[in-house]
């Protein structure tokens, strides 16, 4: 025999609509006439829902539509009544029944339209995406009012974060059109505020390097007065979010900044998800950024790393064990050929050099340039292994280097 607790659990596990309907009939709140209307409206609603999601001509679709309709009515009815069965039963007696199903559908549509993350671009709310969302929630075994409210709270917080981010962007001189992610912009804004005396503007790439250098100092601490002054005129919700963001920055981001292995370049192009926002400035000297974050790379390439001939020169020097530089003398070209023909190219040395010295954002492209293009071409053009095409005097190989690298010689001088 089932215990009272078990019976209660079984009762409570029923959809809220079922509980309210049974309660209303038992207590005489719902009239026989209204009960008949509910039954007729149920039949209409099931067909409408089945049509919306697929077809009303298959029994499984109609059974699923019944389940969907109960879920929608339960969600709306419990929300309207606050879980009070007497009030819910009165609502079933006095309100148009199909409007209760539509009300549940409207609740889900409004929820779907709220941001599910803090990406400012967001996802387009289309008829297709809306239908898919309703399909997921209404076909579920249960999507309770508690589930609805929990998801709504999360999405509302996302909206607050997006609004706060747009306020920060305006307050710190960035164009709203340039911002696509709340987390990265907020992280950069907190870095700016944390670094005492830093101008209250979102940084360019070179300014970011200076901010990281200042934040790395062990004695650098937050000036609470500076933070307070920054948000003093902001809405109360934005003040709350700013203080929470700063606490998160100090607890989570600052230790990463102060990690000796984390350069500004690595932080700016991190794969960890802890990204930073920088203002793209066309007037900013790209070489200046490279000079700050990749001094050896800038020195070796002489700031001409965008020139394929310079890159080919540096990589072939590294691959043959010759100290790298941006241009090649004739005698150095002959040495590159001699070493290659005796021991080949050290591809790993080139990859290690890229990882050790090149700017983080450029490394993948540089690796591809070496492994997919230059390495194979150089091995073919520098070789002297074809008896039908001898190159004992290096004429052909030198001509290749002259055309491919930043060479200082012309013609066929030997």
Q: For residues 203 and 99, state if they share a domain.
A: no
Out of 268, 285, 312, a domain closes at: 268
Q: For residues 92 and 207, state if they share a domain.
A: no
Can you tell me the mean pLDDT for 210-216? 95
pLDDT of residue 272: 56
User: Among 99-103, 374-378, 389-393, whose mean pLDDT is lowest?
Assistant: 389-393
* DSSP structure class, residue 323: P
Checking if the pLDDT of 59 tops 80, the result is yes
pLDDT of residue 36: 94
pLDDT of residue 54: 83
pLDDT band at 9 (very low <50, low <70, confident <90, very high): very low
Residue 324 near residue 405, CB atoms below 8 Å:
no
What rounded mean pLDDT belongs to the chain?
89
Q: For residues 251 and 301, state if they share a domain.
A: no
Can you tell me the mean pLDDT for 135-158? 92
For the segment 337-380, what is each residue's pLDDT rounded down to a tens digit? 999 999 999 999 999 999 888 988 889 999 999 999 999 999 99
Q: For residues 130 and 176, state if they share a domain.
A: no
Question: What are phi and psi for residue 66, nearest 5 degrees?
Answer: -60, -45
Residue 200 near residue 193, CB atoms below 8 Å:
yes
**For residue 117, is it within any domain?**
yes
**For residue 290, is it within any domain?**
no
pLDDT band at 178 (very low <50, low <70, confident <90, very high): confident
Dist CA 100 CA 73 (whole Å): 5
Checking if the pLDDT of 6 tops 70, the result is no
* DSSP structure class, residue 322: P
Checking if the pLDDT of 65 tops 80, the result is yes
Q: For residues 169 and 136, state if they share a domain.
A: no
Dist CA 118 CA 115 (whole Å): 7
Structure tokens at 79: 């929300």
Between 2 and 205, name the one with better pLDDT.
205
Q: For residues 183 and 261, state if they share a domain.
A: yes
For the segment 115-130, what is each residue's pLDDT rounded down to a tens digit? 998 888 766 678 899 9
Torsion of the alpha carbons at 158, 162, 164 and 169, rounded to the nearest 10 = 160
Range of the domain at 299: 295-404
**For residue 383, is it within any domain?**
yes
**DSSP H or E segment with residue 210:** helix 205-216
For the chain, the residue count is 414
C-alpha distance across the termini of the chain, in Å:
105
Q: For residues 17 and 139, state if they share a domain.
A: yes
Q: For residues 121 and 93, state if they share a domain.
A: yes
Cβ contacts of 182 within 8 Å, gap of 6 or more: 118, 119, 120, 161, 162, 164, 165
Domain count, the chain: 3
Question: What is the C-alpha R_g of the chain?
Answer: 34
**For residue 287, is it within any domain?**
no
Distances (CA, A) of 313 to 42, 139, 307: 78, 63, 10
Can you tell me the mean pLDDT for 40-65? 88
Out of 90, 108, 143, a domain closes at: 143
CB count in 10 Å sphere of residue 52: 14
The whole model's pTM is what?
0.70
Checking if the pLDDT of 3 tops 50, the result is no
Dist CA 272 CA 77 (whole Å): 44
pLDDT of residue 368: 96
**For residue 83, is it within any domain?**
yes
Cβ contacts of 259 within 8 Å, gap of 6 or more: none
**For residue 153, is it within any domain?**
no
Q: For residues 350 and 257, state if they share a domain.
A: no
Structure tokens at 148: 């609805």
**CA-based nearest residue to 192, from 204, 183, 200, 180:** 200
Out of 268, 303, 320, a domain closes at: 268
**For residue 75, is it within any domain?**
yes
CB count in 10 Å sphere of residue 313: 27
**For residue 151, is it within any domain?**
no
Task: Output the CA angle 127-131-132, nearest 5 degrees.
Answer: 120
For the segment 254-284, what is each residue's pLDDT rounded down to a tens digit? 999 999 988 888 898 866 557 899 988 766 6
* DSSP structure class, residue 324: P
Can you tell me the mean pLDDT for 169-173? 94
Q: For residues 234 and 323, state if they share a domain.
A: no
Residue 38 near residue 104, CB atoms below 8 Å:
no
Q: For residues 137 and 188, state if they share a domain.
A: no
Q: For residues 201 and 117, state if they share a domain.
A: no
């Amino acid at each position: 025999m089932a215990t009272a607790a078990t019976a209660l659990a079984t009762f409570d596990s029923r959809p809220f609509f079922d509980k309210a309907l049974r309660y209303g009939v038992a207590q005489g709140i719902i009239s026989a006439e209204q009960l008949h209307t509910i039954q007729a409206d149920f039949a209409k609603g099931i067909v409408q829902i089945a049509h919306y999601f697929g077809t009303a001509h298959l029994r499984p679709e109609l059974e699923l539509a019944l389940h969907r309709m109960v879920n929608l009515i339960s969600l709306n009815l419990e929300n309207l009544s606050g879980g009070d069965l007497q009030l819910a039963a009165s609502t079933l007696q006095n309100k148009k029944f199909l409007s209760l199903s539509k009300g549940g559908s409207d609740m889900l549509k409004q929820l779907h339209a709220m941001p599910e993350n803090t990406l400012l671009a967001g996802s387009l709310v289309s008829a297709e995406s809306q239908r898919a969302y309703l399909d997921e929630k209404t076909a579920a075994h249960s999507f309770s009012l508690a589930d609805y409210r929990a998801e709504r709270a999360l999405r509302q917080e996302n909206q607050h974060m997006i609004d706060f981010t747009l306020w920060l962007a305006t307050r710190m001189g960035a164009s709203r059109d340039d911002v696509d992610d709340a987390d990265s912009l907020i992280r950069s804004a907190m870095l700016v505020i944390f670094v005492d005396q830093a101008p209250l503007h979102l940084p360019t790439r070179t300014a970011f390097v200076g901010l990281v250098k200042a934040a790395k100092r062990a004695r650098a601490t937050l000036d609470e007065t500076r933070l307070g002054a920054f948000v003093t005129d902001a809405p109360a919700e934005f003040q709350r979010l700013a203080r929470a963001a700063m606490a998160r920055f100090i607890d989570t981001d600052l230790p990463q900044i102060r990690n000796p292995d984390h350069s500004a370049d690595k932080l700016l192009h991190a794969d960890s998800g802890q990204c930073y926002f920088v203002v793209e400035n066309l007037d900013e000297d790209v070489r200046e950024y490279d000079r700050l974050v990749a001094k050896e790379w800038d020195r070796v390439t002489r700031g001409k790393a965008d020139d394929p001939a310079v890159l080919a020169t540096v990589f072939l020097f590294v691959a043959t064990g010759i100290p790298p530089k941006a241009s090649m003398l004739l005698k150095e070209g002959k040495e590159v050929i001699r070493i290659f023909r005796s021991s080949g190219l050290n591809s790993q040395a080139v990859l290690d050099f890229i990882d050790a010295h090149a700017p983080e954002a450029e490394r993948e492209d540089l690796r591809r340039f070496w492994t997919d293009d230059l390495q194979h071409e150089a091995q073919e053009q520098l070789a002297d292994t074809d008896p039908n095409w001898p190159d004992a005097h290096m004429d052909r190989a030198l001509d290749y280097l002259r055309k491919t690298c930043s060479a200082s010689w012309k013609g066929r001088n030997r």
